[in-house]
Structure 1
Amino acid sequence: MMRIHCAGANAFLLDMSEGTFQDTIQVRIWGMAHVLQAAQGITMLTPGANNLLVVFDPQITEIQSIHRLLKQAWDQAASISITPRELVVSVVYGGDGGEDLAHVAQQTRLSETEVVRLHTSCAYRVAMIGYSPGFGYLTGLPPQLHVPRRDRPRLSVERKSVCLGGEFTCVMPQTTPSGWHILGKAQCPPLFDPTAQKPCFLQAGDIVRFVRA
């Protein structure tokens, strides 16, 4: 069920969460964003974790019209099919660039080889971009690798570090603080380039596969 909340004078936050994160809801959110892209008066669409922020221009479209449009778009989104890009990312696991691989193995009672095998066995989906520019939350992490984030975040985790935290995995787009566990270092293009036409390399809906370098 979609719940609509005001987010200031010119935005709505659409909340579709039902407890834990659900991929099926997120796919429908992508479809809704696709439906709304060309809508008159809407200036920005930002998918979150089973939610969508919709910013509009009240001088172009009345708030009541936007409210009705959102309900219609949610119904239409159920039938939208998104064709994702598929990206393959090589990773050097362990060593100096993957200092938490041994810790994750210990926490999951797996060998380091088994952790890497599981991490490279899945097709991940970019659920949303958030936290920092270009940061993609990747869903599809095997349940065996669901490890709570660190109690004390590191002040600096290098860009292109491949990490996991809770039910998500990621590739760090910049060197930033993080409480996620570092498994290795990705060999990939920059994940955020403010000079590019599309600054974020990863887009919501993309499929990402990791392979051992």
Structure 2
Amino acid sequence: MTETNSEPRPAPRFLSAGDAALVVEFGNAVDPAINHRVMRLGEAARAAGLPGLVDLVPTLRSLMVHYDPTVTSRRAVEERLRDLMADTGGTPVVGRLWEFPTLYGGEMGPDLEDVAKRTGLSPERVVELHAGTGYEAFMMGFMPGLAYLGIIPPELELPRRSEPRVRVPAGSVAIATNLTNVYSLESPGGWHLLGRTPVALFDLHRDPPVLLQAGDRVRFVPVGRDAYDELRDRMEAGDTAFAPVEAEDRA
């Protein structure tokens, strides 16, 4: 995750978000280099124990810093964040690595054939490209446990569906624009469904209930129906022991 781009980086923008939050905006694109800057600042701010810090919310391109205005001020928070940005430099943030067994196509991935047709690829090639790429969790959002993962191979980039579905099953593995995700709960959705994983990304019986964190890494591993059913049955029976391949090692 080390950045090698030598082009000048734009200066971050500090924007007020009400009287108890500050947004640090690093750019205006979905770009791993921009997201790495967000993650580095978030990790540094958390480790520094900023006075009055209430919460940190990383997004694709910005970090929202919630603070207690009775303890600190916007100016003090901004000054401390600027100091932290100077100190962190290019230090990478490495999250946990997860491998999600995924059953592609058929009823689990009803859009696989259409994605293949629209991209001019075979269904097998679509799966090969999607599963052959490692992804980073740029941010959490939309629903509990859902992570926006990127970047997908450019050959697979498509806009969202023109007609969103009313119901998308939990565990659905989907793509849209240059991102992929796993639906953590059943919900409406307009992304293209390539497959499904039996891994529960959100489970109230698990501690913590949310599996992924921003900064984690994800790989999708194609499996057959038998392997999918076996893991699904284990999870439905209450097995919450699904673990990352590598423990987190955050710099």
TM-score by length of 2: 0.81
> C-alpha distance in 2, partners of 1:75/1:144?
37
> C-alpha distance in 2, partners of 1:199/1:78?
33
Structure 2 counterpart SS, 1:97: coil
> C-alpha distance in 2, partners of 1:154/1:100?
11
The answer for the alignment partner of 1:146 in structure 2 is 157
> C-alpha distance in 2, partners of 1:196/1:65?
38
Q: CA RMSD in A?
A: 1.3
Give the residue type in structure 2 aligned to 1:45. L
The answer for the alignment partner of 2:202 in structure 1 is 192
After superposition, the C-alpha distances for 1:24-73 in whole angstroms (9 at most, x for unaligned) are: 12112111111111211110100011111110001111222112112112
> C-alpha distance in 1, partners of 2:26/2:138?
14
> C-alpha distance in 1, partners of 2:29/2:76?
31
Q: 2:45 aligns with which of 36, 39, 48?
A: 36
The answer for the alignment partner of 1:50 in structure 2 is 61
Which stretches of structure 1, 4 residues or more, deviate above 6 A after TM superposition?
Answer: none
Larger strand proportion, structure 1 or 2? 1
Q: Does residue 208 of structure 2 align to residue 204 of structure 1?
A: no
> C-alpha distance in 2, partners of 1:144/1:83?
27
Judge conservation of contact 1:85–1:206 (CA < 8 Å) in 2: yes
Gaps of at least 5 residues in structure 1 are none
Change beyond 3 A, Cα 1:109–1:49: same
Judge conservation of contact 2:22–2:74 (CA < 8 Å) in 1: no
Structure 2 counterpart SS, 1:128: strand
> C-alpha distance in 2, partners of 1:28/1:77?
9
What is the aligned length? 211
Deviates more, 1:67-76 or 1:116-125: 67-76
Q: Does residue 190 of structure 2 align to residue 159 of structure 1?
A: no
After superposition, the C-alpha distances for 1:72-94 in whole angstroms (9 at most, x for unaligned) are: 12222324332321111111111
TM-score by length of 1: 0.94
Q: 1:9 aligns with which of 9, 19, 34?
A: 19
Judge conservation of contact 2:152–2:178 (CA < 8 Å) in 1: yes
Judge conservation of contact 2:26–2:37 (CA < 8 Å) in 1: no
